[in-house]
Structure 1
Amino acid sequence: MDAKTGEMSGCPFHGDGGMRGLLGRTNRDWWPDSLQLEILQQGGRSADPMGEDFDYCEAFNALDYQALKRDLTDLMTDSQDWWPADYGHYGPFFIRMAWHAAGTYRTGDGRGGAGSGQQRFAPLNSWPDNGNLDKARRLLWPIKQKYGKHISWADLFILTGNVAIESMGGPVFGFGGGRKDVFEPETVYWGTEEQWVDTGAETRIIPDEGKALENPLAAIQMGLIYVNPEGPGGNPHDAEGMARDMRETFARMAMNDEETVALTAGGHAFGKAHGAKPSDTFGKAPEGENLHTMGFGWLTDPEEIGKGHITTSGIEGAWTPNPTQWGGDYFRLLFKYDYELVKSPAGANQWQPIDPDPEDMAPDARDPSKKVPTMMTTADMALKRDPEYRKISERFRDDQAALDDAFARAWFKLCHRDMGPKVRYLGPEVPAEDLIWQDPVPAGKQASDSAVADFKRAVLDSGLSVSELVKAAWASASTYRNSDHRGGANGAHIRFDALRNWAVNDPEELGKVLAKLDELRGDISMADAIVLGGAAAIEKAAKDGGYDITVPVSTGRGDATEDQFDAESWEPLEPFADGFRNYLRTKASVKTEDMLVDRAHLLGLSMPEMTALLGGMRALGAVSKHTQHGNSIGVLTDRPGVLSNDFFTNLLAMGTVWEVVDESGDEEFVGKCRLKGDVKWHATRTDLVFGSNSQLRAVAEVYAENGNERKFVDDFVKAWTKVMEADRFDLEYAKYH
């Protein structure tokens, strides 16, 4: 078990051995009677009602930003008869909405977060932790309707949270727009449990049973954003476990201890929790409710709406005596009083100050003439009970300016962590400061055509092989993931030891290649040199196969400095498996071919693109040396280094029979001549799936057909270029700034 991740061999994949292990329970599992719309997908794609030509960034830049903020500010205190505003202010409600939109982000695979407005769709719209946020989103509908295409739901969620904080005197670091909506649930693995947190789901960390939080998950139970506020498994007396759960889950959402404390205290400076009645007094979540509820869920008796009987977490009460005003009351009360364990009206465990002074009582959410005790959750108490959290909390208690700055920065990080490079941020409130978690990269400069040509010639005369150059370029660019837009070739992060030494990169070989490229590159950036080296190798490989091609490369990448590189934050990007290089660290419970599909998805590849890329990488000999057969496994060609469709023709050849290598555990195979019985090829599951899976075989057959040799070369180059250019947001977004 990995001491840092709690995983067997660090494996980020668990499950039943198939794609189910990557998906967990799907919406169809949770709500089998819900309307199924997949049949309307055209060619595997769902229609975007805005059309392919719609440019959201351009539309956002035309937004009357200040008018929108004024309308949102007014909404904070505009009365709505159909849903009550605690203390006459919707601010805390909208902060929770924004927090829960962004708080699904996890570092393990970069999925989750606020980037596409997923809170509108199942399962997130029906998670127990998102109870009644359907009303928050519906309160925003008149504003969304007014501004239309100029503000996405995804941006609106986060901007509304910012405005809510500002309207209550809280600190805000900035806002970056540019999140484009999608119109269907994204495929994300949220876990395998068959129950939600409020219906008996087990906690995901039980040290006594050797149970650790599996990667890439970050929440402690199914249906939660972070932790169970009542304590591990609902146990309020497990102070050590509460701090452990908080530290683990927040770390997996890219937050350190200081950010965790600041976010917890800052978020709980506002509003209240709702547990006035037991959960069995309200109805189903939105996705499972009756048709006539029009998308609302968790409904109570209509006669009680507006009278305070709202249940979400089950915990009841405000944290401070001033729930709609930013200040230092949270920490002041936390340390001023001893707290006793009590039950909320809904039966939840919570903590109440002993003998509070009248001025430290909170107003009733509906009747300001009444005073009620404040409360703390078990999670709040961890900031006092855990030694490390306590040190930070005491510092914030004594230094309000430090808390202001820490909360503003942590909130900004929470809401923008999944947006990728800062160049993707739009709007008048984008902070000027570059932050380390944004993976800043200095601006590069374009190389001249003559410099590129001279460099390519020098590279091909350097003694470096096609395989070595292609592998180096892939190692750099394939770190990209389109979930949170991290990684990629820009910045040349691959040259830093933390990445270069990943086992998948064959570090000794990669180090040799990088050193030679650095020697030859002249004024060309290292980031460009790595990509150009791969392009030169592919052009040579194609020419050796009889095709004169040019691999497109847009130069102008910059080189990140060591000061701009946070090695620890890059650890989750190390691949456990990379089918394109035929790399697998160790056998996992999820099939290797499923991990290939998952990686292709993170690279934004289609099925044909994935197929062409893998076949081309094999032909070029660009495979890992990690397996027992080294750099021959999966290279189904007698002329490695030549860009050809040999992988497909030999994989599908009728004269070859495949047998499993017994000691490989069903991971490696030998291909033997059907007549003579001699071994011709070595391959993995990742290779053979292109002959065994009916859909992948259908694509592979296209590339193996006579007459499609040039098509294969062209398709490989297009897919290769897509990966190499995936992170060129500096070019894509230049016109918006």
Structure 2
Amino acid sequence: MDGNNVMKGGCPVMHGGNTEIGNHPTKWWPKTLNVDILHQHDARANPMDPDYNHRDAVKTLDFQGVWDEVDKLLTDSQVWWPADWGHYGGLFIRLSWHAAGSYRLGDGRGGAGTGNIRFEPLNSWPDNASLDKARRILWPVKKKYGNALSWADLLVLAGTVAYSNMGLKTYGFAFGRKDIWGPEIDINWGNDSEILAPTNERVTDVEDATSMYNPLAASHMGLIYVNPEGVNGNPDPAETAKYVRMTFARMAMDDVETAALTVGGHTVGKCHGGLAPDEVGPAPAGADIVNAGFGWSDPGFNGKANTAHTSGLEGAWTTNPTKWDNGYLNLLFKYEWEAVKSRAGAWQWEPIDIAEEDKVPDATDPSIKHNPLMTDADMAMKVDPIYREICEKFHKDPDYLSETFAKAWFKLTHRDMGPKANYYGPFVPQEDLIWQDPVPAGSTDYDVDAVKAKIADSGLSAAEMIATAWDSARTYRGSDMRGGANGARIRLAPQKDWAGNEPERLAKVLGILEPIAADAGASVADVIVLAGNVGVEQAIKAAGQSVPVPFAPGRGDATDAQTDADSFSVLEPVADGFRNWEKQNFDTPAEELLLDRAQLLGLTGAEMTALVGGLRMLGVNYGGSKHGVFTQREGQLTTDFFQTITDMDYKWVPVEDDGTYQLQDRTTGEVKYTATRADLVFGSNSILRAFAEVYAQDDNEAKFVRDFVAAWTKVMNADRFDLVA
């Protein structure tokens, strides 16, 4: 190509090209299903060696050495970012808190389990201002311990060590979190028009905090919890209390845990309001390259801790901000407080007529004293009658506060790690906590083949067995590693009564499988999965092939006492495109609901495609629906679904006001099949159609069966953390 023919501007490079989110196809064609979330953390984005296994690596870590190194850093104040009172405790605690605090119970997404705060949008949220500095302070520890120490672990460890250093008897700590290497694009942080948009953009009624759109929890885009200045920036502790209660409840915290976390979180450290927010530089994602990845440049910062800017609020909550004590509650209840503006113009609460001995030493010059502060959320602990009663008990019994906070902190920072099988290190507490969804160990000492034979002779149909196994396993969420077939909680409340589990059919199947399990000495959890495998193998044989379905015994059976029914209610599927079912008609298209379920299950696009097409052929649609059952050989694991969806002899015709479609013969107009959007997307979306075409090819019938079996086994074993090296 002649260089003189290059377009004006002189550079043939695409200037951002596909690296810009704005050039994603969905920008130009917003109805296109974006399947990128199924491949967001694939091997191409991971810099580690292909055979690297973090579980193996973390076992080699010098756990006490890491703890000690972080402890030393706490008082190693850096010239480029000096510590308040020469101690980074408050900064490290805020780092851990905000790394963990993005978790929400509704879909299990967010949280500290992946180290996602290193990436956008969290890295550049205004609520996370200056935490970019905290991570750089920790870099020498990460550098020294390398691959065995994940950022995800280090970010949470930092705050735990800080609390221990300042006098709290911590409850414990577990290593084992595995880093990701890019943003979690599957997380819906909200559709707000801008960062820190008014609360009314994410609630249907500002007066009713519980009307916030699920699964959101924070009151504004860009905040972890609530606006510290009050709802929409208007000081009103009674109103703020409603949002505090809502957002913590959506993080699986009750009122006692919420109060403990608020009190304990603000017993140490301080807020920073060095100058007005509009004078601060842009967040890391918008900063100049010379900022070396830092954001929020502060022209008023002169290298002293007392001139730093973060939130705009200014001051500490207690007289001794580097010690774990009862100072927060002493001051909260001792004084009356009034709303005032900080030097940066932010609303905060300060005490009226405070004694000199209760004032706070300046973060740089201890000879200078300042008023303590409270945020609107802090004042909610005094104004709200429920929170006040709890805090009064904490005030009278500091040991009770310490114990309650230590457990709540552990829950906050470990909530998305799943069961204790994922915990490593000498600081792991021995106690089993109900929010860890404990499952007793299951037996492997039984004759699997004999159990399979009894299942095959039980009179259950393949479809009944497959549907039950699928329903048991599909609750798994890779986001927080909850749910799944292990524990057989499908036989317990609330799961046994979920509409999507077809309670009548479920009761029939369990009534047959439970005695088989008891006679064999196997868990019901194992027998449910094994029955699904038997059904799949029968369908494979009926199709003229022979492929065994792998099975690993050892699942246990959870009890009602080990199951927090309220907590498990959020795992209830409201739609399952794999079984072509929706609990109600949703505004969200069926194919997007299917994609969300597939992502939580950890499936790739090809795995999702194989499973949907295969399950349609096996006749396991909810209620026996024939939508998407594109075959005359129902019950056989064939490629008929893919052959039909790619066959141009059919035209697709919507059924008026029904949300379903007909596949009509183009020549005769005869209706051959019916379908939903969760079926047709595999013929309409360019990526999914490409997968479907692979399985529709004449030479790939055997490949399809192998791929289906592999994907099926992946789902059945998704929560078998004991099988991972």
The question of a shared fold, defined as TM-score above 0.5 by the shorter chain, is answered with yes
In the alignment, the residues of structure 2 paired with residue 478 and residue 555 of structure 1 have an alpha-carbon distance, to the nearest angstrom, of 18
1:225-624 to structure 2, matched below 5 A, reads 225-237=224-236, 239-301=237-299, 304-306=302-304, 308-448=306-446, 451-521=447-517, 522=519, 523-624=521-622
Which of 657, 661, 667 aligns to 1:675? It is 667
Match of 1:655 in 2: 649
Counterpart amino acid of 1:405? Answer: E
Greater displacement, 255-264 / 648-657: 648-657
CA contact 1:193–1:201 (8 Å) conserved in 2:
no
Which of 613, 628, 638 aligns to 1:634? It is 628
In the alignment, the residues of structure 2 paired with residue 634 and residue 146 of structure 1 have an alpha-carbon distance, to the nearest angstrom, of 55
Which of 53, 67, 72 aligns to 1:74? It is 72
1:284-320 CA-to-partner distances (Å, cap 9, x unmatched) read 1011100111001111127613252212111111111
Counterpart amino acid of 2:523? Answer: S
- How far 1:99 sits from its partner (Å)? 0.4
Distance 1:326 1:208, change over 3 A: closer
1:697-728 CA-to-partner distances (Å, cap 9, x unmatched) read 11111111212111111110010000001111
- How far 1:669 sits from its partner (Å)? 1.0
- How far 1:324 sits from its partner (Å)? 0.4
Structure 2: which 5+ residue stretches go unaligned? 1-18, 25-35
Counterpart amino acid of 1:229? Answer: P
Distance 1:206 1:690, change over 3 A: closer
CA contact 1:84–1:308 (8 Å) conserved in 2:
no
Counterpart amino acid of 2:61? Answer: L
In the alignment, the residues of structure 2 paired with residue 29 and residue 201 of structure 1 have an alpha-carbon distance, to the nearest angstrom, of 26
Counterpart amino acid of 2:561? Answer: D
Identity between Structure 1 and Structure 2 (%) = 53
Match of 1:643 in 2: 637
Runs of 4+ aligned structure 1 residues displaced above 6 Å come to 41-44
SS, match of residue 657 in structure 2 = helix
Distance 1:141 1:596, change over 3 A: same
Counterpart amino acid of 2:647? Answer: A
In the alignment, the residues of structure 1 paired with residue 120 and residue 40 of structure 2 have an alpha-carbon distance, to the nearest angstrom, of 21
In the alignment, the residues of structure 2 paired with residue 561 and residue 514 of structure 1 have an alpha-carbon distance, to the nearest angstrom, of 15
CA contact 2:192–2:202 (8 Å) conserved in 1:
no
Counterpart amino acid of 1:274? Answer: H
CA contact 1:276–1:344 (8 Å) conserved in 2:
no
CA contact 2:306–2:362 (8 Å) conserved in 1:
no
CA contact 1:82–1:306 (8 Å) conserved in 2:
no
In the alignment, the residues of structure 1 paired with residue 293 and residue 340 of structure 2 have an alpha-carbon distance, to the nearest angstrom, of 35
Distance 1:42 1:73, change over 3 A: closer
CA contact 1:203–1:232 (8 Å) conserved in 2:
no
Match of 1:34 in 2: none
How large is the RMSD of aligned CA atoms in angstroms?
2.0
In the alignment, the residues of structure 2 paired with residue 61 and residue 699 of structure 1 have an alpha-carbon distance, to the nearest angstrom, of 39
Distance 1:676 1:303, change over 3 A: closer
Match of 1:54 in 2: 52
CA contact 2:319–2:358 (8 Å) conserved in 1:
yes
Distance 1:269 1:30, change over 3 A: farther
Match of 1:11 in 2: none
TM-score, structure 2 length as denominator?
0.92
Match of 2:10 in 1: none
- How far 1:519 sits from its partner (Å)? 2.1
SS, match of residue 350 in structure 1 = strand
In the alignment, the residues of structure 1 paired with residue 291 and residue 45 of structure 2 have an alpha-carbon distance, to the nearest angstrom, of 26
Distance 1:210 1:692, change over 3 A: farther
Counterpart amino acid of 2:228? Answer: P
- How far 1:55 sits from its partner (Å)? 2.1
SS, match of residue 306 in structure 2 = coil
Match of 1:223 in 2: 222
Greater displacement, 530-539 / 75-84: 75-84
In the alignment, the residues of structure 2 paired with residue 339 and residue 303 of structure 1 have an alpha-carbon distance, to the nearest angstrom, of 29
Match of 2:195 in 1: 196
In the alignment, the residues of structure 2 paired with residue 343 and residue 303 of structure 1 have an alpha-carbon distance, to the nearest angstrom, of 20
Match of 1:20 in 2: none
TM-score, structure 1 length as denominator?
0.91
- How far 1:46 sits from its partner (Å)? 2.9
SS, match of residue 710 in structure 2 = helix
Counterpart amino acid of 1:469? Answer: M
Counterpart amino acid of 2:547? Answer: I
1:676-715 to structure 2, matched below 5 A, reads 676-715=668-707
In the alignment, the residues of structure 1 paired with residue 643 and residue 508 of structure 2 have an alpha-carbon distance, to the nearest angstrom, of 33
Distance 1:519 1:245, change over 3 A: same
- How far 1:589 sits from its partner (Å)? 2.4
In the alignment, the residues of structure 1 paired with residue 107 and residue 61 of structure 2 have an alpha-carbon distance, to the nearest angstrom, of 33
SS, match of residue 304 in structure 1 = coil
In the alignment, the residues of structure 2 paired with residue 42 and residue 255 of structure 1 have an alpha-carbon distance, to the nearest angstrom, of 30
- How far 1:663 sits from its partner (Å)? 2.5
SS, match of residue 414 in structure 1 = helix
Counterpart amino acid of 1:515? Answer: G
| Count, aligned residues | 690
- How far 1:321 sits from its partner (Å)? 0.4
SS, match of residue 366 in structure 1 = coil
SS, match of residue 265 in structure 1 = helix
